[in-house]
Every structure is written in structure tokens, then in C-alpha cells.
Amino acid sequence: MQALFFSYGLAGLSVGVVGVVPFVMVSAFPAAVRFTGISFSYNVAYAIFGGLTPIFVTLILRLTPLAPAWYVLALALIGVLVGLYLHSQQGRASIMSEVSA
């Protein structure tokens, strides 16, 4: 029962984080960039993953009934790795700006 409450709280936190993303995008970029670059990249990514995910998961279901869970796990790991890479690049950029100053 405790795991259920913990999972429910974690899901609520995740939904809250997803709700913050549009606010950050609106405050981070000027209107011209928001309407062109962000909307285009969002729609292309949504079309690719929204169109290919059901096909991909259905094919993996032939191997294991946990295919949707494996797919979500793989995407989560990719997200963590990209986040770590970007964090390390940000650290290098700040070091390089200090060295050049």
C-alpha cells in the first residue's frame, strides 16, 4: 500500500514538471522563436514518436509482454543521459568563459 502512495506522488510530481515546460519555453524565448522554431520541433518530434511508438511497441510485444515498460525505461535512460551530457557541457562552457575572461 505504501508503494502505491509513493508511486501516486511520483506520478503527480511528474505531471507537475510537465506543466512547467510551456511556461519555461514562453519566458525563455522571444515570440518569433516560440512560434516557429519551438512549435516546429515539437510537432516534428510528436509526429515521429506518436506515429512510430505504437508500431515499435507492438513489434516488441512479440518478444515480451513488458514491451511498453521497456520502451518507457529506454526513453527515460536516454533522457537522463542527454541531461547529464548537457549538464557537463554547461560546466565546460562556464569554465571556458572564465578562462577567456
| pLDDT score for 67 | 92
Residue located via cell numbers 505504437: 54
Per-residue pLDDT tens digits for 71-101? 999 989 998 999 899 888 877 666 556 555 5
Examine the domain organization and report whether 52 and 70 are in the same domain: no
Same domain for 45 and 91, yes or no, is no
- The answer on 54 and 35 residing in a single domain is yes
Query: 55 and 88 share a domain?
Result: no
Encoded amino acid at 1, one letter: M
Whether 49 and 77 map to the same domain: the answer is no
The residues, ordered by sequence, that sit 6+ positions from 25 with a Cβ below 8 Å of its Cβ are 34, 38
Domain tally, the chain: 2
pLDDT at 94: 62
Q: Which domain holds residue 89?
A: 65-101
Does residue 15 carry a pLDDT above 80?
no
- Give the alpha-carbon dihedral of 56, 59, 63, 66, to 10 degrees: 50
pLDDT score of 34: 72
Mean pLDDT, range 8-20, rounded to an integer: 78
* Nine cell digits for residue 15: 505531471
- The answer on 42 and 9 residing in a single domain is yes
pLDDT value, residue 6: 87
